[in-house]
Amino acid sequence: MADADSLHDMSSDLSAIDADAEDEIVTDEGRTDSTRKKSKKKKRKARDVGPSSGDSDSQTVNDKHSHVSNRLPDAEPGSADQLSGAEADTEGQVSQDNRSEKSFKKITGPVSEDAPEEQSNMIADGTLSPFQNLQKIQKAVELLTMQHGTPKTLEDATKKKYQFWETQPVPRFNEKITVNDAIEPDKQPDEIRSEPYSLPTGFHWDTLDIGNPLILKELYTLLNENYVEDDDNMFRFDYSPEFLQWALQPPGWLKDWHCGVRVIKNKKLVGFISAVPANVKIYDRTKQLVEINFLCVHKKLRSKRVAPVLIREITRRVHQQGLFQAVYTAGVVLPKPVAGCRYWHRSLNPRKLIDVKFSHLSRNMTMQRTLKLYKLPESPRHPGFRPFTPADVPDTYRLLKQYLLKFELSPVFTEEEFRHWFIPRKGIIDSYVVETDGEITDFVSFYTLPSTVMHHPTHKSLKAAYSYYNVSSRTPWVDLMQDALIVAKNMGFDVFNALDQMENKEFLEKLKFGIGDGNLQYYLYNWKCPSMAPNQVGLVLQ
């Protein structure tokens, strides 16, 4: 993983490193006057974007799955007016950059070089023609977009210079890959740095013991106030303390991989990054690697360049355990995605989603028609559909393990890991099976990830279910997933989200999911292999 482990769901955090074109942490004392001025300008600009539910002069951070911003289309299935993709804005490159990028897109495409001669020449008095002025404006727009924006398409990304990522063991955009192998060889123990990386003055490392309720509450507060928001600062992920323990303590977890940063004076937790172990099948190879998650820096400290050193430090700690590959996802395009999947959203509580502006009534649609459109049966239709229990583990584990072999990027669970990830936990993970004549034939699971609704007088939370791993061997996909939607609706969920990976396209449109307009990119660190289609991806990261 070299100096920086490109890691799970931290898109703009990582792209911000490129935007600043810096590999090393920079303290205030080490900056030039002009750099300080730029930093101050960024902070003032962030405040102008709009208030947040955290500190008033702070702004968003971090990427995660972009689902906070995955708003539904105008209450009509199949529309493409949703936002998708994980935007993590850090180190001064906050969400207003994304808004600026969108406004730039109102000017379309480069002007043709084959324009008529009278357009391309100067006017007789030596001034630029309107055509040339337009060209200059467009070039300036493109330059600003590439310098400050976070590319969300491969076309935009190929125009951007990734000074940081060009130093890392990741594939290049123009690289044609035919092998399935590591980019760099594993490091020897004496090649791995033994001392932690240096933090800016006034901060120190702290390995978090999340078994301590007080420390777990600190981590929850940091993420709740500083983690992923949507572009319009209307929704923010609200990971519960119990969810964090589930996500951060699977079999084989290490306390050393729960890496925090505190202020020396008041001991306040202001930064965090984590890694968890996983075995992942990549085509015909299986690698033990890490999934990186929850990179978060307090909003007020993003000019301190804490995120790059957090990444370096978790990389160093993972290297010390003999692991040199990682998997991560991002809502922006970095060098180089192995696959891109798209989020789809199924409205379960249309009235609330419209009320909080997560979705809108489409033209010619009334509220009553919308409620009728998304109405579901009162109870599951299949007689063998029931909650998953610990007694079902052996049969269901074999069912899922066999099913995942058909995909080119998929986890290789042990039975212990299967128990951890799928035995139901209230408010965290729900799993169901279909049992026919004593045989487990089908399986469905979804995890709970609510979002805080900011600036709304009535609604304070949006309850979202995320499709996890599902297997249909006998029950048709539409019937199986409709039963999942029904139980989710009855449990009080407002929306059900799913990626177009695995075999999910078999049911998305038929069950009135609406498509998002952004992609969730999958990346491998220190590994290169041919690109994959969404239906070849069988890996879900929380």
How does DSSP assign 284-320, residue by residue? TEEEEEEEEEEEEE-GGGGGGTHHHHHHHHHHHHHHH
Give the whole-angstrom CA distance, residue 2 versus residue 192: 9
Which of 255, 270, 257 shows the shortest CA–CA distance to 218? 270
Burial category of 254 from C-beta neighbours within 10 Å (exposed 0-12, middle 13-18, buried 19 and up): middle
Dihedral sign for Cα atoms in the order 253, 255, 261, 266:
positive
The Cβ of residue 144 has, within 10 Å, a number of other Cβ atoms equal to: 14
275 compared with 306, residue with greater pLDDT: 275
Give per-residue pLDDT as tens, 86-129.
333 333 333 333 332 222 222 223 333 333 333 344 444 455 55
Which of 173, 141, 24, 143 shows the shortest CA–CA distance to 91? 24
Q: Supply the pLDDT for residue 25.
A: 34
Mean pLDDT within 161-171: 84
pLDDT band at 165 (very low <50, low <70, confident <90, very high): confident
pLDDT band at 455 (very low <50, low <70, confident <90, very high): confident
Three-state SS at 378: coil
The Cβ of residue 406 has, within 10 Å, a number of other Cβ atoms equal to: 12
The Cβ of residue 526 has, within 10 Å, a number of other Cβ atoms equal to: 22
Q: Supply the pLDDT for residue 112.
A: 34
Q: Is the pLDDT of residue 217 over 90?
A: yes
Same CATH topology for 11-112+126-330 and 344-519: the answer is: yes
pLDDT band at 429 (very low <50, low <70, confident <90, very high): very high
5 compared with 281, residue with greater pLDDT: 281
Q: Is the pLDDT of residue 459 over 70?
A: yes
| The token pair that represents 121 in the structure block | 């020449």
163 compared with 47, residue with greater pLDDT: 163
228 close to 68: Cβ distance less than 8 angstroms: yes
The Cβ of residue 510 has, within 10 Å, a number of other Cβ atoms equal to: 14
Q: Supply the pLDDT for residue 474.
A: 96
Angle at 149 between CA 461 and CA 356, to 5 degrees: 20
Q: Which of 25-39, 94-108, 217-231, 495-509 has the highest mean pLDDT?
A: 495-509
Give the whole-angstrom CA distance, residue 275 versus residue 279: 13
Q: Which amino acid is at 365?
A: M
CA distances from 377 to 239, 350, 367 (A): 30, 15, 19
Q: Is the pLDDT of residue 434 over 50?
A: yes
The Cβ of residue 41 has, within 10 Å, a number of other Cβ atoms equal to: 11
Q: In whole numbers, what is the pLDDT of the chain averaged over residues?
A: 79
pLDDT band at 256 (very low <50, low <70, confident <90, very high): very high
Which of 73, 65, 539 shows the shortest CA–CA distance to 345? 73
Cα 66 from chain centroid (whole Å): 5
* CATH 3.40.630.30 assigned to 11-112+126-330: yes
Residue 10 phi, psi dihedral angles, 5° rounding: -135, 40
Give the whole-angstrom CA distance, residue 499 versus residue 154: 19
What lies within 8 Å, CB to CB, of 114 at 6+ separation is none
Give the whole-angstrom CA distance, residue 423 versus residue 246: 11
Give the whole-angstrom CA distance, residue 358 versus residue 63: 19
Mean pLDDT within 229-246: 84
Query: H helices within 440-509, ranges in order?
Result: 477-490
Q: At what angle do helices 96-104 and 130-148 cross, to 10 degrees?
A: 150
Query: H helices within 227-305, ranges in order?
Result: 241-248
User: What pTM did the predictor assign?
Assistant: 0.76
Give the whole-angstrom CA distance, residue 372 versus residue 534: 32
| The token pair that represents 240 in the structure block | 């519960």
In the chain, the percentage of residues whose pLDDT exceeds 90 is 58
What lies within 8 Å, CB to CB, of 41 at 6+ separation is none
Sort residue 343 into left (φ over 0), alpha (ψ -120 to 50) or beta: beta
Give the whole-angstrom CA distance, residue 537 versus residue 515: 18
518 close to 388: Cβ distance less than 8 angstroms: no
pLDDT band at 231 (very low <50, low <70, confident <90, very high): low
Q: Is the pLDDT of residue 533 over 70?
A: yes
H or E stretch covering 238: none
Give the whole-angstrom CA distance, residue 46 versus residue 371: 38
Give the whole-angstrom CA distance, residue 172 versus residue 337: 10
Q: Which amino acid is at 170?
A: V
Q: Supply the pLDDT for residue 319.
A: 97
Residue whose structure tokens are 């729960």: 258
99 compared with 517, residue with greater pLDDT: 517
Of the options 3.40.630.170, 1.50.10.10, 3.90.550.10, 3.60.20.10, the CATH number for the domain spanning 344-519: 3.40.630.170
CA distances from 499 to 293, 372, 508 (A): 19, 25, 9
Q: Supply the pLDDT for residue 132.
A: 54
User: What are the sequence ranges of the domains in the chain?
Assistant: 11-112+126-330, 344-519
Q: Is the pLDDT of residue 55 over 50?
A: no
Which of 503, 378, 495, 402 shows the shortest CA–CA distance to 446? 495
pLDDT band at 175 (very low <50, low <70, confident <90, very high): very high
Which of 302, 305, 277 shows the shortest CA–CA distance to 289? 277
| The token pair that represents 438 in the structure block | 């004593």
Q: Is the pLDDT of residue 442 over 60?
A: yes
Q: Which of 18-27, 88-97, 235-244, 467-476 has the highest mean pLDDT?
A: 467-476
Q: Is the pLDDT of residue 531 over 50?
A: yes
CA distances from 406 to 412, 479, 530, 537 (A): 12, 22, 16, 9
Give per-residue pLDDT as tens, 306-332.
888 898 899 999 999 999 999 988 888
474 close to 256: Cβ distance less than 8 angstroms: no
In the chain, the percentage of residues whose pLDDT exceeds 70 is 71
15 compared with 179, residue with greater pLDDT: 179
Give per-residue pLDDT as tens, 60-85.
223 344 444 444 444 443 332 222 23
**In degrees to the nearest 10, what's the CA dihedral of 380, 381, 383, 384?**
-60
What lies within 8 Å, CB to CB, of 3 at 6+ separation is 23, 167, 168, 312, 315
Lowest mean pLDDT among 76-80, 166-170, 536-540: 76-80
Q: Which of 102-106, 327-331, 367-371, 458-462 has the highest mean pLDDT?
A: 367-371
294 close to 208: Cβ distance less than 8 angstroms: no
